[in-house]
Amino acid sequence: MGIKQFFYILFFLLALGKGVNYAQELNCQISINSNQIQGTVERQVFDQMQKAVYEFMNNTKWGKDPYAVQERIECSILINVTQKTSNEDYEGTIQIQSRRPVFKSSYYAPLFNYIDENFQFKFQQFTQLEFNLNAFQTNLTSVLAYYAYIIMAMDYDSFSPLGGTEYWQKAQQIVNNAQSAGERGWKSGESNRNRYWLVENAMTPLFQGIRDCTYDYHRKGLDIMQEKPDDGRAVILTSFDKLLKVYELRPASFNMQLFFNAKRDEVVNIFSKGTPEEKGKVVERLMTIDPANTTTYLKIQESR
């Protein structure tokens, strides 16, 4: 049993009889940008769409652990609708972000930040969104559920070693169900940077170092920084060794890119407060495993 699962079970037992309100796992803010679609009728449809997506993400029970209202995972979804191809068919992008609290602080650490540009879906006004993990029903609910499980997987991975495996597996099941779907983003041959490869890589032992780093970085590093900032930075620096092993086998991989999409600005802030020796070591390491953002990492050495 992982640390996060243990915590929630313990919380559940202690809270029995105390009137604690329980909630689903996600506290997901939803925004629909439909500026490129004109018309009063469309405005009403998009208002209904935003409400339906909000209820789907926040009212679905995605896992088995009890969550108190204040413990829900903070996340957001921005759907940018760029085209209406028929009466109920839309195209656009979907951006997903999530974050997790840092122990004994008011700070939330970013975990996931990704814009999926292969997003086509049908939406019929006044219909409830339905999802079945065992079958592909609609692309809209499949994409939303897929990213709900990705959010859960990354959150659990940050609290216990490989703690999100159950949710990675559920996301992979959605991918498998979608192989016969006509919409883009689900198949291995379309691209090496899509929904298929995000979960396929996460479940492949070769990429386990990213998940191991996620745990060390957050649970062993960030979560102690409020009381022991020097120790926390040292752990985070060491955690990058696990990314180095992945980079040596798969340089510039999709999952590594996603890791640094979420973390690079945070890393700069953390190590800007480090010693000159720490700054030199972390910049050298980051320039090796994430060379595309070298200019960003050099800011660490410029700080005082």
- Whole-number pLDDT of residue 5: 52
d(CA 235, CA 151): 24
Exposed (0-12), middle (13-18) or buried (19+): which is 74, by Cβ within 10 Å?
Answer: middle
Q: How many CA atoms are closer than 13 Å to the CA of 45, on its beta-carbon side?
A: 18
User: Which one-letter DSSP state was computed for residue 132?
Assistant: B
- Whole-number pLDDT of residue 21: 58
Q: Summarize pLDDT for 137-164 with one digit per residue, the tens.
A: 999 999 999 999 999 999 999 999 999 9
- Whole-number pLDDT of residue 230: 97
- Whole-number pLDDT of residue 9: 47
Kindly report the length of the chain: 304
- Whole-number pLDDT of residue 4: 56
- Whole-number pLDDT of residue 157: 98
The beta-strand segments (E) located in the chain are: 22-23, 26-33, 67-68, 73-84, 89-101, 108-122
d(CA 184, CA 175): 11
- Whole-number pLDDT of residue 41: 67
Question: Encoding tokens for residue 266?
Answer: 């945070």
Largest CA-CA distance found in the chain, in angstroms, rounded: 61
Q: 3-state DSSP: the chain helix, strand, coil percent, rounded to 5?
A: 55, 20, 30
Residues pairing with 97 in the sheet: 76, 113
Question: For residue 298, how many other CB atoms are within 10 A of its CB?
Answer: 13
Low-confidence ranges of the chain (pLDDT < 50): 1, 7-19
- Whole-number pLDDT of residue 17: 41
